[in-house]
Amino acid sequence: MKISISSFKWLFGRNSEFWPTNMKTGMWAWVGHRLTGLALVAYVFLHLSFLTTASLGSGDFDSLMATTSKPLFIAMDFMLVILVIYHAMNGARVVLFDLGIGIRRQKLVFWVTMAIAAVLIVGGLWAIWHLIIGGSGGA
Amino acid sequence: MSEQRIATSKVAGTWAWFFQRLSAVLLIVFLGIHLYVAHFMGVSEENPGETLITFNDVQVRLDQLIYVVVDYGMLSMVLLHGLNGLRTVAFDFDMFAKRKKLVDVGLWVLGIATLIWGIIILFPFIFGE
């Protein structure tokens, strides 16, 4: 099988269903789910790598913890929180549809789950705000 | 593409679909436990106000079997869900859908190897350095 540019025609270009103006709500949700999912898989491996240097390697666990509690890292943690919350709430929507719940009102269900996601994200930000702005990172 | 997507769900299979939902629900439970234990319970027994986690704190925690079970359980579900998700994405591309066996074997090897890696990472905390 030959892999060429034309193999990806369905993915890119004006006639692709993924071209922004061709996408409807459900498609945006689906694309977002995949992108956040891929990012989270990458994060798991990053997470294990960092822990390896601190636990098995020459690195020092306590100093790694001190570094990762600095405002910059807490802010990056919060990006992770946003990805997880979106992925979880959109995932909940997918599971509901699989159970046959809410399919006829799928747009409404999408916006309700996103509203819950927004509340969780704001709540999360409220909880860790002082660690980003406060400077010392709780140390 | 719409025909292709139907074909994709057939390639991925019903078990993959089922375990993706099951692990998703379990992950939400694990995530709740993880957040509570790591950020709300208070990390240090001697110093309740402290939020910075030390090697010793983790060691004290992992002395209790339940925390080890939760950690390894969560990692298993993360890998099952993450790599199964990767598999679903991969099968939307012809080049992977046509090499199903190879993708499956590759992801199983990667998943089991990563689980073993994760299990070993906690050894210094469980058994001491």
Give whole-number Cα distances, A54 to A44, B59, B85, B123, in Å. Answer: 16, 14, 29, 12
pLDDT band at A139 (very low <50, low <70, confident <90, very high): very low
Within-domain flag for A17: no
Using the beta-carbon criterion (under 8 Å), do B121 and A139 form an inter-chain contact? Answer: no
Distance from CA of A52 to the nearest CA of B (A): 6
**Pick from B89, B95, B114: CB nearest A1:** B95
Q: B27: distance to nearest CA of chain A, Å? A: 9
Q: Minimal CA–CA distance to B78: which of B37, B122, B19?
A: B19
Residues of chain B contacting A3 with CB distance shorter than 8 Å: 95
CATH number, domain of A71, equals 1.20.1300.10
Query: ipTM of the predicted structure?
Result: 0.86
* Nearest-neighbour CA in chain B from A34: distance (Å): 8
Q: Is residue A63 part of a domain?
A: yes
Instruction: Give the chain A residue nearest B97 (alpha carbons).
Output: A1
CB contact A49 to B (< 8 Å): no
pTM here is 0.85
**Residue B34 structural domain:** 2-127
A126 at B interface, C-beta within 8 A: no
Q: Searching chain B, which residue's CA lies closest to the CA of residue A64?
A: B54
Q: How many domains does chain B have?
A: 1
Residue A138 has pLDDT above 50, yes or no: no
Q: Is A121 on the interface with B (CB under 8 A)?
A: no
In a domain, A118, yes or no: yes
CB contact set of A117 (below 8 Å; sequence gap of 6+): A85, A86, A88, A89, A90
Kindly state whether residue A7 falls inside one of the protein's structural domains.
no
Band (pLDDT 50/70/90 cuts) for residue B8 is low
Could you say which of A1, A40, A61 has the minimum Cβ distance to residue B82?
A40
Side chain identity at A129, as an amino acid letter?
W
Look at residue A129 and tell me if it is in a domain.
yes
Distance, in Å, from the CA atom of A62 to the CA atom of A67, rounded to the nearest integer, reads: 9
pLDDT at A127 over 70: yes
Q: Which of A73, A108, A55 is nearest to B119 (CA)?
A: A55
Look at residue A107 and tell me whether its pLDDT is greater than 90. no
Is residue A8 situated within a structural domain?
Answer: no
pLDDT tens-digit readout, B23-67: 999 999 999 999 888 777 776 666 666 777 888 888 888 999 999
CB of B24 within 8 Å of a chain A CB? The answer is yes
Provide the domain count of chain A: 1
Mutate to test the interface with A, among B20, B31, B34, B55 (most CBs of A within 10 A): B55
Residue-wise pLDDT tens digits, B107-116: 999 999 999 9
Whether chain B has a CB inside 8 Å of the CB on A45: the answer is: yes
Report the alpha-carbon distance of residue A107 to residue A58 in Å, rounded: 52
Residue A84 lies in a domain: yes
Whether residue A122 lies within 8 A of chain B, CB to CB, comes out as no
- Whether B111 and chain A come into contact, CB under 8 Å, resolves to no
For residue A99, what are the domain limits?
25-133
